[in-house]
Amino acid sequence: MNLEYQAMRAFADSWGLVAMALFFIAVLVFVVRPGARRSADDAAAIPFKED
């Protein structure tokens, strides 16, 4: 049981950090992509639109 935990911990320490860093970079690229401002402004205005 302990060996299994340590193997999963080592995997999370190494590849988990890489996965989180890649996810963070992907979110940043998504936010600053061309056209993101218009879609963000549209989403921000949803509560103020009347049906």
pLDDT number for residue 27: 95
pLDDT band of residue 1 (cuts 50, 70, 90) is: low
Interval 8-49: pLDDT, tens: 888 888 898 899 999 999 999 998 998 888 888 898 999 998
3-to-6, 16, 23, 37, 49 alpha-carbon distances in Å: 5, 18, 29, 49, 57
Is pLDDT of 51 > 80? no
Of 5 and 24, which is predicted with more confidence?
24
Q: Which two tokens stand for residue 25?
A: 């970079």
Q: At what angle do helices 17-32 and 36-44 cross, to 10 degrees?
A: 80
Asked whether 43 and 49 are in contact (CB, 8 A), the reply is no
- pTM for the model stands at 0.62
Asked whether 29 and 22 are in contact (CB, 8 A), the reply is no
Q: How far apart are CA 21 and CA 26, in angstroms?
A: 9
